[in-house]
């Protein structure tokens, strides 16, 4: 598809995003992360944790050929197929998904977490390490401090301090959650680290597997 077609699809899908309070406290949460062992191969990891204990009960991983280059604002088209593939292998059915990326804090309101929420029909939260879109004030330096992220007058995310005196995270709803859910569950899944356990552990696995898996780039 052309870039213009992908952008048009994002605009269409973003109208389907629903911000609403989670109906129940999640029993299981999942996190996803990708690495690229070679130029055209993605290695995707999905981990499922019991909540609130945050104990890993399952990890799955896959490799998948990638034919879309990195283009800012179109990350979900590059990484989404591999995430969906590893998600399909999970034996457990998570109640809440975490992604290392944006939710609705995106130029067209459809970052990775929002796109995956719609495709997988699951509540999701985007927890990004860096700013992509929107204006904000820097939150206080202590854990739990936050400021909202705005697109004009519209709230699109939260700049959230998850650890004292460390850089904040840019947290935004994917779909089927609200801003309060994003703050609550991001903080409750952070165990002394800057990143929430679902994506932090998935990232650790991707780095470990990347070193161990021998891939032919022509795969």
pLDDT tens column, 203-212? 999 999 988 8
- Phi then psi for residue 185, to 5 deg, are -80, -25
Mean pLDDT value across residues 7-28: 95
Dihedral sign for Cα 127, 166, 36, 131, please: positive
Mean pLDDT of the chain: 94
Q: What is the CATH number assigned to the segment(s) 10-135+173-207?
A: 3.30.2170.10
Q: Check: pTM over 0.75? Answer yes or no.
A: yes
pLDDT at 96 over 50: yes
Give me the residue spans of the domains in the chain: 10-135+173-207
Give the span between the Cα atoms of 31 and 47, in whole angstroms: 5
The predicted structure's pLDDT at residue 214: 65
The predicted structure's pLDDT at residue 71: 86
Show the CA angle centred on residue 3, arms to residues 102 and 115, nearest 5°: 30
| Spatial contact of 51 and 196, defined as CB atoms under 8 Å apart | no
pLDDT at 38 over 90: no
């Amino acid at each position: 598809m052309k870039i213009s077609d992908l952008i048009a699809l994002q605009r269409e899908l973003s109208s389907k995003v629903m911000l609403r309070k989670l109906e129940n406290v999640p029993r299981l949460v999942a996190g996803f992360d990708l690495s690229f062992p070679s130029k055209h191969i993605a290695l995707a990891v999905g981990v499922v944790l019991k909540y609130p204990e945050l104990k890993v009960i399952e990890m799955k991983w896959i490799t998948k050929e990638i034919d879309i280059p990195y283009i800012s604002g179109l990350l979900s088209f590059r990484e989404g197929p591999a995430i969906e593939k590893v998600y399909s292998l999970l034996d457990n059915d998570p109640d809440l998904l975490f992604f290392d990326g944006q939710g609705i804090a995106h130029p067209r309101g459809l970052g990775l977490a929002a796109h995956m929420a719609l495709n997988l029909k699951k509540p999701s939260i985007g927890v990004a390490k860096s700013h992509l879109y929107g204006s904000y004030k820097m939150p206080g330096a202590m854990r739990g401090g936050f400021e909202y992220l705005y697109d004009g007058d519209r709230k699109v995310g939260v700049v959230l301090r998850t650890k004292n005196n460390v850089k904040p995270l840019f947290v935004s709803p994917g779909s089927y959650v609200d801003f309060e859910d994003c703050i609550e569950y991001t903080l409750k899944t952070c165990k002394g680290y800057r990143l929430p356990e679902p994506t932090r552990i998935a990232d650790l696995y991707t780095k470990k597997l990347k070193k161990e898996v021998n891939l032919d780039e022509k795969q």
